[in-house]
Structure 1
């Protein structure tokens, strides 16, 4: 066949397209399990960060299994679900999408429990929307299920130096010691306030300068997600604790 002919060129191009497609598909299949494992490790690291435990890729799984004493799955009534669903494997996006398809009552909410000495901490996964894409994180509450023990946040594509600052320790550490209920037990969440939280505000943190939309996204994410856990908080009868507030209704 004449290598300079149009026919040869078309056949050669078609063969190359097939070869490249096969190679890419093969690479994707081989890399799939590795990518999934990397995502699991990163998730473990983020959960550990919310309770103040630093970890690297090699130590993350060991530390996660050491410190996370229990993983439970809740339904919309705040009841623990006893089935084959693993809290760690719950996809928050898929659960949130159930709202769009009239399946809100089928939502499942993961909860991770960390025990340090005799103290329990409850780690809640959160997911929302920033300026350019999804944002997510973990909020750890103390045993009173009211006081924030720690937080970690991540993002897919927020602007460096602006919205991307939600993933920095400086932003995240502001949440420590904040509370999600007021003194009357009404749900307030923790708000990210443009211009800065007033001195002594136990429910607010400073927004990111120049990152208003992302900051608002964090506020919305926390309020919407944490509200899903109120039935569970109330079911634990924490009002009997000396340090807990008597949980009432959401103010939203």
Structure 2
């Protein structure tokens, strides 16, 4: 005669199907298996998702550059490629030990972020990375185009964009919004090519060097403005503050100064 089965799993599974203990055990077992499968899928898919995001950003960069008048010829003259460099924002020059390959790992370290004081944080970021990957086009030994990633707070959430700045470091060559959460049909129009077409030729600063760029509340009235979007004043203000922050002293200001002096 067989002795009692001391295996607790087999004893639970041998219980009648209407047993509350068996029901709870099976539900727990299924949830553990599902959680393991979801976690495994997340780990496996993360590199694929990162690669897809990178490919989408590259496509937007290509579209932005190709939409700039005369840029195709500049790219052809330079070999058709933008150089990529990671910038130390505080120093305004290329980072010493951070490269595009290890940038993500570097930014996982909280020490590589700068907390922004309320008076500084006009873009609503809270904190700013110390290192940013940018894209440059050179004409002989001078920078003729700089593509600078931007981010800030809009009406519905975070706005990400890439600003193309001409070699004088004062004139927009273009702007591409890469991500936003603004209201469709209102602030969401910032992703439309017709609105972004107002940026080329817009100037950031006046003759005294003061940063004057802004999104107007209506039609633009000068070289430092782009047209506002009807019913989306807060989105326009968010774009204004985003550009002013990143082109100011706590963003790309030191880099822009270095390029203007011919030191980059």
Same fold (TM over 0.5): yes
Give the C-alpha shift of residue 26 in structure 1.
1.8
Q: Match of 2:81?
A: 67
Matched-pair contact (CA < 8 Å) for 1:88–1:110:
no
Aligned to 2:29: 15
Which residue in the other structure is 1:204 paired with?
225
Alignment partner of 2:242 out of 212, 221, 229: 221
Q: 2:115 aligns with which of 83, 88, 99?
A: 99
Is the aligned partner of 1:165 residue 2:181?
Answer: no
Tell me which residue corresponds to 2:124. Answer: none
Aligned partners of 2:113 and 2:129 also within 8 Å:
no
Q: RMSD of aligned C-alpha atoms?
A: 3.1
What is the total number of aligned residue pairs between the two structures?
223
Task: Report the counterpart of residue 211 of structure 2 in structure 1.
Answer: 187
With normalisation by structure 2, the TM-score equals: 0.73
- 1:155–1:12 distance in 2 versus 1, CA, 3 Å: same
Deviation at 1:154, TM superposition (A): 2.9
TM-score of the two chains, using structure 1 as the length reference: 0.77
Q: 1:48 aligns with which of 45, 51, 62?
A: 62
Query: Using the alignment, how far apart are the partners of 1:13 and 1:162 within structure 2?
Result: 46
CA offset digits 1:189-237 (Å, max 9, x no partner): x211112212xx1111112222222111111100001112232222334
Shift of 1:186: 2.7
Paired residues of 2:162 and 2:178 also in contact (CA < 8 A): no
Q: Deviations over 1:95-144 (max 9, x none)?
A: 9952249xx89823443102479972011110001122110101111111
Larger radius of gyration: 2
- CA distance in structure 2 between the aligned counterparts of 1:221 and 1:95, rounded to whole angstroms: 23
Say yes or no: does 1:121 pair with 2:135. Answer: no
Deviation at 1:66, TM superposition (A): 4.6
Structure having the larger proportion of residues in helix: 1
Quick check: 1:236 aligned with 2:250? no
User: 133-142 or 78-87, which moves further after superposition?
Assistant: 78-87
* Pairs within 5 Å for 1:19-34: 19-34=33-48
Q: Residues of 2 paired with 1:96 and 1:216: CA distance?
A: 28
1:151-189 Cα distance to aligned partner (Å, 9 max, x none): 10133422111111111101111101101111233322x
